[in-house]
Structure 1
Amino acid sequence: MTIGLLLTLAALAVVDSTSFGTLGIPVYLLLSSGRSRVSGLLIYLATVAGFYFLVGVALMLGLSTAMDAFGDVLRSGPASWVQLALGAGLFALSFRFDPKRRARLGKPERRFEPRVGGPRTMVLLGLTAGVLELATMVPYLAAIGVMTTSGLAAGQWVPLLAAYVGVMIAPPLALMGLRGVAGAWLEPKLERLRAWLARHAASALSWGLAIVGFLLARDAAVVLFFR
């Protein structure tokens, strides 16, 4: 386990923490009215964290089996070229997620405003957010791939995976704590954050794809050109 690996995972986790499911929805829930706001948000975050962790464990076990069977092939030069091409492709794809492009095409702006409900509602909301983001959890999938190709033992990748998920839900937990201390002062700032997230959701996805593409391409380039 190297410092480079830890920094890469930390960067990917920070990118994941800015997704709509891990930051956007929690901000909406924080601004909801009702006594169950805090408990509802905690249930939602616990559901999202548990969902991501279990998906990660399943992927790690599956990818570990694949590495045992095809490890030499996946670490070969051709596989590194495929990874380099994938990283470059994701980086190029990020430029297509321009919010101004949707406006030029005359497509309406999409908005989603969740509300706090009972425990069952919050669990369902968390699971729904996780399932919907499966197709766009590129940073998380990249982190799983990095941990797998690093040949980590279960005693290493399980706590790393837990720490990764913890970083993902750290920003809304910090906002919740800050709101409890300075609610009146923070309220208008959260409103502005919610409006900003609504305006820049597509841009966030674009940046996420660009960062993940860069990290994948950099990792492959190190293997191909600097070893």
Structure 2
Amino acid sequence: MKLLLVRHGETFANDAQRWSGSQDLEITNLTENGIEQAKKLATWFKKNNFIPTHIYVSPQKRALDTFHLAGDHWNIKPNIINELKETSAGNFEGHTWDEIEELFPQEADGFRFTRNWDVVTGAETELERRNRGVKILDIALNHTSKEDIVIMFCHASIIGNIVAAILETPKLWGIRTRNTAIFEFEIEPEKWNDTSREKNNLTLWRILRFNETPHLENEDKDLSNLGSQI
């Protein structure tokens, strides 16, 4: 099975450095640049004759819009699942970091160095995020065979948790996920839970792409100030 994770195109919140999350707000709609990113992704899919067998999409507008712009030409009905929604940022959603420090100083202090979402009112807990990443991987593994190609259109933070589930790491890695970036993995579903020496067989699980945007001309955009959920 090939599993591709695709982040949505640029939103007004991304451009303004405002935290996004599980809500659909006016500022979380795609910008003109985000629309162009998704259209370029469609062109890249066509150029490479990429056609998935299974499509899963977050129900949030920015992910749905990205899917329609990038994948409507497949004429394949997507599976829209809540599991792919962005993780909730609670009180932080819709705000810049400066606004968060002013409005929620105690939570900002608790979050600044630990990045522990458990201290943010209304946010999805660390355990809930991790469990959701595992559940999404299970959905892909349990509904596919070796020859299938699965693509999921979703969001930066949940992608990080899915990647952690795929790599079976207890750590959540800081990934500066680009808008419309592609993560591509090759996994042997039938062997995934094999506890024999097969787990070390490098031909059964491979990383083919990781946070790549081959469809965009400018891949060197400075991402140093982007948060994983902005």
Given the two structures, how large is their TM-score scaled by the length of structure 2?
0.29
Given the two structures, how large is their TM-score scaled by the length of structure 1?
0.29
- The structure in which a higher percent of residues are helix is 1
- The structure in which a higher percent of residues are strand is 2
